[in-house]
Structure 1
Amino acid sequence: MPRPVSVSAVLPPWLAHALRTQRGPVPWNAVVRGALAAGPLLLAAVLAGRESLGVVAALGAMLAGINDRPGSRRAAVHRLGVPALAGAAGLVVGTYAGQQFGAVPLTLILTGLGLVAGAVSAVGPVASGAGTQLLVAAAIGAGMPLPEPGWQRALFFLAGAGWLIVLRLALPTPGALTSGASDFRFDGERVAVSAVYDAIADLLGAVGGGDAGARRAALTAALDHAQDALAGPRLRRYASSAAERRLRAQYAAALPLAEAATALAWSGDALPARTGEGPRRLALSVRTGEPCGPLPAPARSVAGLRALDDALLHAAEAFDRGGIKTGWNTKAAKENGADKENGAGRVTEAAKETGDKEAAASSGASHPNPLNHAAQQTQQKGLHARTLSGKAFLRTITGSGGREYGFRVALCFGASAAVAQALHHVHWYWLPATAVFLVKPDLGPLVSRVLNRAAGTVFGAVLFAALAALLPQPGGLVAVVAVCGALIPVATRHFAAQTAVVTVLVLSLVMVGGEPPASWSRIGETLLACAIVLIVGHLPAPGQRGGNVRARLEAATDAAHAYLGQVLSGADDRAARWALRREAYRTLAEARAAIDRASAELPTLARHTEGTDEVAATLERLVDTTTACAVHLDDTGRLTPRHTERLATLLDELVEQRERAGLGGEGKGPGELRTA
């Protein structure tokens, strides 16, 4: 029977992307926070007779709600707080610029802000959110008629975003208080770290099959998410609580397991089903805080399996030090007969031997467990937090990606502000604010953004017109704001749905603030912004197009070569190696995401990044091979001809593919490899 063909398979990429929707469980905790954020703030302001301040606070809560994604509480402070600070700054600048300058100088000021915000947005997701809020708030401050001075607007904008951050920190996740976990404040970290162990088990189960590549990519995504979840203002060099120390140790223990699993996937030999049972039990232990039980050890027949066995032992020790008594290993071994079939005896004997070594080390011996030492170094070097130095930050915003991004944003933002003021529309600030969301390439391909924005705005405006005619004011509109705040975390799965919800919410705020209904003008402003962004997005620009993709790919190439150089150097610093491996896979994932977005553009834009997907695929194979080499070098101290020949082939392919993609042929050649 022939397999059914999906709709996306027969549609052009730019249209298929517009129909694509993210999947996953409903984030009920975010829904509750959204319902308690903008709506109650607006209600309190209405009852106090300060509707305009309530509108500003609700805007701050709404924009923070768009950035309120799943993750840890510590990461949420940075993810929500930094864009909120940028938005407050934009509100101050926009307010005073709108009051002091005419149309032409105001447009020039907004264009300059767009140039800076666009360049900064190329740094990463948080920077992109900060750039977006800076420009949106600047447009609102310049054009929205509010009686309060700029500093007061900024203060209440921050209060709205800060209220959502307080809810994010204080409210427990549903079910967290009844679970076996000891501290609900770390539920996001526990979920992220346990997902890493599950991803390792999934990769081990897929070894030798067609899904191994996808499972390795899923493992990278899980490690990236856990790395972000453990980063933030609460994470210090010396953890402040037992729960935090435990989670950091559990994350560090997953790094050698991930390395061994990747090496086994590279070898391609199928593994017994029970190979992934150990990581699966560790994942359950992270989620519940309970002992994980005996960990079956794999047969130590090849280098990858020996590395996996050693990593499982280290993980068991890390979990023990976090509060689980080591006695369960010995007891389980006795119950299972300590035979090689179930592997418990091997784990117990190894743990016993390691325990003797640790006792000797505490008495002055100089041979600690190398995995323990590497994990401690990993934590001490702060590898969970991924930050850019000042030079790297400047290099990013002034590089090809930052320049192209800044140029497009500045041109769209400035042109839309000029056109809007020339039309003398009372809500002229909507046009540049809409253009900001449309011109953001990290939100999806250009045509996909435009189609979804237009459809979402039309639907939202028509829906609001019906609601405004039926509901009492202002109470009914306050209720609409609360409902929309609750829907935002679900609506973010599709840009059109998010646009529809935000449109209803913003139109409700406008009416509560005392302005006339604006449903139909909202549609006209949005369609005009879509036209401006489409025209500017296809204009020729100075320099080479696809700058963001090329910048991401260059960063991935540099990280891959740094990782390869460290492995071939023979250095015995596993903490540094794991850090370089994480950076290599992470930059590759970022490059892949940028390439996928660029490939879904119209052909006139997609052609500028042709061939980059081949470069990314070769880099992934190179990093996988480097990981296999690292594991084999740990085991034998030398590489096999299979490893060296594979590295040389991949390096040659990389040089050729970079030249075809217009990236240049720089990189290590096989001669350098053999010398190393």
Structure 2
Amino acid sequence: MTTERRTEHIPSGRSRHHPLAPPDWLLKALRPSSAPVPWAAAARAGVALAAPLAVGFALDEPEYGALVSMGALSGVISDTADAYRMRVLHIAVPQLFGAVGVALGTLVFGHGWVAVGVVTVIALVSGMISSIGTVASVSGLLLLLNAVVGAGLPLPRPWWTAPLLLSAGGLFVLALSLLGWPLRGRQPERAAVATTYRALADTLEAAGGPAYEERRQQVTHALNQAYDLVLGRRARVHGRSPTLVRLLAQLNVVIPLVEAAPAAHLRGRPLPPEIPAAVRELATAVENGRTGTPALSLPPAHSPAERAIDAALRHAATIVLLAEPDPFNVDDRLGRPAALRVRARRAVRDMMLSGASWRYGLRLALCIGLAQILVSVVAIERSYWVALTVTFVLKPDFGSVFSRAVLRAVGTAGGLVVAAAVLAEVPRGWWDVPVMMVLGALIPVFSAKGYAFQTAAITPVILLLSDLLNHHGFDLIRPRLLDSLIGCAITLVAGYLLWPESWSTRIGDRLADTVDDAARYVERAFGVVQPDTEGGRQAARTARLQARRRIYRDLSGVRSEFQRALTEPPPTGARAAAWWPLVVAVERIVDATTAARVRVNHGAREPGAGEVSAVVTELRGLAEGVRSSRVPAPARTPPPAGAEDDASVLAPVRHEIAAARAITAPTG
């Protein structure tokens, strides 16, 4: 049956702008990222959102089809993992929380202040569990979103109907995402390891040049992703899987090459092209699962850095092409993760004892409570959209709250243009199916471009589904925009401006902690007391590798926080820009320390205990200087860097520390 729908990068300084031009922080937030188009995810989203509508129209139950599509929408938003087993967690677990949320919301629908209180308590719980991790964050989001929908929208009865239909939509997305598992079960993990090798090849190719720092960041990110996938998979496998053992061995042997890259960069000249080419060959072998005998054609190695790369590359080639690595000779480097049950217990305990978790939960509960009270006192059409907007915007782990509020308003306005055309021109009925397929496919594509683009893609989908549930047609447009603006205003005032911690950057404190970690890394790398047994030396090396990986992970987190702070308006964005040279300086200190250790391992003279102690003391002092500086001084020109043949391998480390201290030193 068909009825008519229509009832009526990094700043280098300040740039000059026209007085009416948008500010820099907004332009940065609106700039689309260059992420590739996720074709498979787009196809899944289009089918997952359109198929339930087709079934609903075929059974003359369009409302049921719309609810299943709503559940599919939450599954599409959650479908962000690469590995198939991780997809089960990322999609199925949030669906369980979403079902609980909509059930609770449905039970209190129409109960006035009881509904306000229940939804506010759910907001507190949602905010607290969101601090645990990625899956928990999405679970908390769906718990609250579905509770708001259930409490604000008349859904089919009995109470269990809506949870069942919404869960069916999410599980449909999960089923579609797992279709390739039998054929590509290990492909995501294998591709992640191969990506690490290719990123390393690009880094080695850039060694000695200006593009090295950016390429090294890509290696760190790729290595983190690969370890998370492989070790996360091993945590759920009893015993030693031969495939995973091989992947872990291939990933472990890339670490010496990663360590040797800073030493190669400090040489100040490019590496022979045969070296990155050989690493790319290994990446292809990893991706294709190829085995055989290594056949490397490498130039002669002369300096300690060259010898380090040569030895590491030959060892990597042997392990990558080895058919059956020894399962009992594979070091997990970062340590094998604890069982999922143990990690869940730890996460809940940490959440209950965390002040940050309680503060975020209270912020979210305050904003949701104010939204619910407002719509209970003032007659606002489709009032549940106010709380929905608050829920989407007030997610600090998803990015800057301020910029998300602004971007959501912008994205909503853009999405309403598309929604207005659809609601005005497309008759309600079977024509909704192809329209939904197109709109659904655009969600993963636009989500990869940025938050404003994701909002613009999701808005017409939600409005189309809402129209199928309440038949308001074109009249949905104006209330949708008004409710979104009210929700953004509540979030900016009660969830942002009233909480100084939300608009003050903590990059300085986190950087200081990382500098302290760098000092401990130097102590471990050049400790005075060296183990005199093979087992002791291996344990010390593993501890040093773990310390280095933790530092790089921390620095990656600092960079992410910096990128988030850059999208804030002044003064936070300006402070973040001022801290940036110090972020780079700390990374260079860690790189120089790693390069020094590599050079010692391959023939350079070990530094004396006094020199090591002096470097550690300087790093401790730098950490204190970072903590005491509200805003770093303008970057100064550091003294010339030491060459590779300096008398001491720690000379480049001291140079980088001096450059960092020049940044934190007071001016005037």
CA drift at 1:444? 3.5
Partners of 1:450 and 1:411 in 2: CA distance: 16
Instruction: Specify which of 507, 526, 546 is matched with residue 484 of structure 2.
Output: 526
CA drift at 1:323? 6.3
The residue aligned with 2:555 is: 588
The residue aligned with 2:395 is: 440
1:211 maps to a residue whose letter is: A
1:161-560 equivalent positions in 2, closer than 5 A: 161-171=170-180, 183-232=183-232, 236-237=236-237, 242-266=242-266, 268=268, 270-290=270-290, 294-297=295-298, 299-322=300-323, 375-378=330-333, 381-382=336-337, 390-391=345-346, 394-395=349-350, 398-399=353-354, 401-492=356-447, 493-517=449-473, 518-541=476-499, 546=504, 556=514, 560=518
Q: Does residue 530 of structure 2 align to residue 572 of structure 1?
A: no
Q: Does residue 626 of structure 2 align to residue 657 of structure 1?
A: yes
Partners of 1:132 and 1:552 in 2: CA distance: 27
The residue aligned with 1:339 is: none
Partners of 1:73 and 1:57 in 2: CA distance: 23
* Residues 237 and 380 in structure 1, CA contact (< 8 A), matched pair in contact too: no
Q: Does residue 150 of structure 2 align to residue 141 of structure 1?
A: yes
Partners of 1:39 and 1:239 in 2: CA distance: 42
Q: Does residue 55 of structure 2 align to residue 88 of structure 1?
A: no
Residues 659 and 380 of structure 1: CA distance in aligned 2, closer, same or farther (over 3 Å): closer
The residue aligned with 1:38 is: 49
1:615-626 equivalent positions in 2, closer than 5 A: 616-626=583-593
Residues 273 and 420 of structure 1: CA distance in aligned 2, closer, same or farther (over 3 Å): same
Q: TM-score, normalised by structure 2?
A: 0.80
CA drift at 1:242? 4.8
* Residues 201 and 276 in structure 1, CA contact (< 8 A), matched pair in contact too: yes
Root-mean-square deviation (Å) = 3.7
Percent of aligned pairs with the same residue?
Answer: 32
CA drift at 1:476? 1.7
Instruction: Specify which of 120, 123, 131 is matched with residue 111 of structure 1.
Output: 120
Instruction: Specify which of 62, 65, 75 is matched with residue 86 of structure 2.
Output: 75
* Residues 194 and 284 in structure 1, CA contact (< 8 A), matched pair in contact too: yes
CA deviation digits over 1:605-632, x for unaligned, max 9? 4478686546544442343234234434
* Residues 526 and 607 in structure 2, CA contact (< 8 A), matched pair in contact too: no
* Residues 228 and 384 in structure 1, CA contact (< 8 A), matched pair in contact too: no
Q: Does residue 637 of structure 2 align to residue 628 of structure 1?
A: no
Partners of 1:88 and 1:287 in 2: CA distance: 39
Q: Does residue 534 of structure 2 align to residue 599 of structure 1?
A: no
CA deviation digits over 1:442-485, x for unaligned, max 9? 44334432332222222322322322232232212233222222
Residues 7 and 603 of structure 1: CA distance in aligned 2, closer, same or farther (over 3 Å): closer
CA deviation digits over 1:482-505, x for unaligned, max 9? 222211110101222211221111
CA drift at 1:509? 0.9
2:399 maps to a residue whose letter is: G
1:567 maps to a residue whose letter is: A
Partners of 1:296 and 1:9 in 2: CA distance: 53
The residue aligned with 1:65 is: 76
Partners of 1:602 and 1:652 in 2: CA distance: 32
* Residues 285 and 321 in structure 2, CA contact (< 8 A), matched pair in contact too: no
CA drift at 1:235? 5.5
Partners of 1:185 and 1:552 in 2: CA distance: 38
The residue aligned with 1:19 is: 30
Partners of 2:508 and 2:162 in 1: CA distance: 40
Task: Could you tell me which runs of 5 or more consecutive residues in structure 2 were left unpaired when the two chains were aligned.
Answer: 1-11, 531-536, 633-653, 658-668
Q: 3-state DSSP class of the match of 1:430? A: helix
Partners of 2:87 and 2:261 in 1: CA distance: 30
Q: 3-state DSSP class of the match of 2:178? A: helix
Between 1:191-200 and 1:307-316, the stretch displaced more is 307-316
Residues 484 and 499 of structure 1: CA distance in aligned 2, closer, same or farther (over 3 Å): same
* Residues 538 and 605 in structure 1, CA contact (< 8 A), matched pair in contact too: no
Partners of 1:558 and 1:82 in 2: CA distance: 37
* Residues 95 and 138 in structure 1, CA contact (< 8 A), matched pair in contact too: yes
* Residues 50 and 69 in structure 2, CA contact (< 8 A), matched pair in contact too: yes
CA deviation digits over 1:146-201, x for unaligned, max 9? 123444422332222222122112137xxxxxxxxx95222322322111001111
Partners of 2:348 and 2:593 in 1: CA distance: 28
CA drift at 1:577? 3.5
2:143 maps to a residue whose letter is: L
* Residues 39 and 481 in structure 1, CA contact (< 8 A), matched pair in contact too: yes
Partners of 1:567 and 1:452 in 2: CA distance: 46
Residues 374 and 323 of structure 1: CA distance in aligned 2, closer, same or farther (over 3 Å): closer
The residue aligned with 1:366 is: none
Residues 548 and 655 of structure 1: CA distance in aligned 2, closer, same or farther (over 3 Å): closer
Partners of 2:172 and 2:337 in 1: CA distance: 30
Residues 287 and 441 of structure 1: CA distance in aligned 2, closer, same or farther (over 3 Å): same
CA drift at 1:140? 0.8
Between 1:303-312 and 1:592-601, the stretch displaced more is 303-312
* Number of equivalent positions: 604
* Residues 231 and 384 in structure 1, CA contact (< 8 A), matched pair in contact too: no
Between 1:623-632 and 1:409-418, the stretch displaced more is 623-632
Between 1:641-650 and 1:89-98, the stretch displaced more is 641-650
2:101 maps to a residue whose letter is: G
Residues 551 and 522 of structure 1: CA distance in aligned 2, closer, same or farther (over 3 Å): farther
CA deviation digits over 1:122-165, x for unaligned, max 9? 44433332222222111112112112344442233222222212
Between 1:524-533 and 1:234-243, the stretch displaced more is 234-243
Q: Does residue 55 of structure 2 align to residue 54 of structure 1?
A: no
CA drift at 1:558? 6.8
CA deviation digits over 1:608-664, x for unaligned, max 9? 86865465444423432342344345445973368776555444322211221499x
Partners of 2:105 and 2:508 in 1: CA distance: 33
* Residues 106 and 155 in structure 2, CA contact (< 8 A), matched pair in contact too: no
2:227 maps to a residue whose letter is: Q
* Residues 117 and 135 in structure 1, CA contact (< 8 A), matched pair in contact too: yes
CA drift at 1:567? 3.3
Residues 170 and 551 of structure 1: CA distance in aligned 2, closer, same or farther (over 3 Å): farther
CA drift at 1:280? 1.1
Partners of 1:605 and 1:188 in 2: CA distance: 38
1:169 maps to a residue whose letter is: L
Q: 3-state DSSP class of the match of 2:564? A: helix
Partners of 2:426 and 2:84 in 1: CA distance: 37
Residues 543 and 150 of structure 1: CA distance in aligned 2, closer, same or farther (over 3 Å): same
